[in-house]
Amino acid sequence: MLTKLQDHNDPMKFRAYSTPFAHILCTIWLHLRLVCNLIVPALPYTELVTQQDNKGETTMGPFPHDAPKATINDANPAGTDGFEFVEFAHPEPEKLDSLFRQMGFVPVAKHRDKSITVYRQGDINYLLNSEPNSHASAFIEAHGPCAPAMAWRVVDAQHALKRAVDLGAEEFTGNKSIDAPAVIGIGGSLLYFIDTYGEKGSCYSNEFEWFDEVDPNPKGFGFYYLDHLTHNVIRGNMDTWYKFYHDTFNFREIRYFDITGKMTGLTSRALTSPDGKIRIPINESADDHSQIEEYLREYNGEGIQHIAIATNDIYSGTDLIADAGLEFMPGPPSIYYEKSLERVKDHQEPLDKLRSRGILIDGEGVVGGGETRILLQIFSKTVIGPIFFEFIQRKGDDGFGEGNFKALFESIEEDQINRGVLQSTAE
Total structural domains in the chain?
A: 2
Identify whether residues 314 and 342 lie together within a single domain: yes
Q: Where residue 236 falls among pLDDT bands split at 50, 70, 90?
A: very high
Last residue of a domain, one of 175, 210, 245: 210
Q: Which of 65-69, 181-185, 270-274 has the lowest mean pLDDT?
A: 65-69
Q: Is position 216 within any domain? A: no
Q: What is the CATH number of the domain that holds 197?
A: 3.10.180.10
Q: In this structure, is residue 178 part of a structural domain?
A: yes
Domain that holds residue 393: 11-57+223-419
- Which of the listed residues 185, 210, 235 is the one where a domain comes to its end? 210
> Does the pLDDT of residue 179 top 70, yes or no?
yes
Determine whether the annotation assigns residue 289 to a binding site: no
Query: Are residues 252 and 337 located together in one domain of the fold?
Result: yes
Position 70 in a domain: no
Give the model confidence (pLDDT) of 24-61 as tens digits. Answer: 333 333 333 333 322 222 233 344 444 443 333 333 44
Question: Does some domain include residue 132?
Answer: yes
Q: Are residues 144 and 230 in the same domain?
A: no
Please check whether residues 33 and 85 belong to one and the same domain: no
72 inside domain: no
Output the pLDDT for position 365: 84
Whether residue 254 is found in the same domain as residue 325:
yes
| pTM, full prediction | 0.82
Residues 274 and 196 in one domain: no
Tell me the CA end-to-end span of the chain in Å, nearest whole number: 44
Both 173 and 195 in one domain: the answer is: yes
The per-residue pLDDT of the chain, averaged, comes to: 83
Range name among 13-22, 182-191, 216-225 with the lowest pLDDT average = 13-22
Q: Is residue 269 part of a domain?
A: yes
Residues 387 and 365 in one domain: yes
Report whether 306 belongs to an annotated binding site: yes
Judge whether 235 lies within some domain. yes
Phi then psi for residue 355, to 5 deg, are -65, -45
Q: Please check whether residues 127 and 250 belong to one and the same domain.
A: no
Domain boundary (210, 244, 265) is at: 210
Same structural domain for residues 201 and 290?
A: no
- Residue 260: band (very low, low, confident or very high) from pLDDT cuts 50, 70, 90: confident
Does 4 fall in a domain? Answer: no
Annotated binding-site residue? 143: no
Q: Do 233 and 357 belong together in one domain?
A: yes
pLDDT tens digits for range 379-413: 999 999 999 999 999 998 888 776 655 534 554 56
pLDDT tens profile 334-392:
777 887 888 888 899 999 999 999 999 988 888 887 888 899 999 999 999 999 999 99
Res. 16: pLDDT tops 90? no
Residues 196 and 232 in one domain: no
Q: Of 73-82, 203-212, 241-250, 334-343, which gets the smallest average pLDDT?
A: 334-343
Average pLDDT of the segment spanning 197-202 = 94
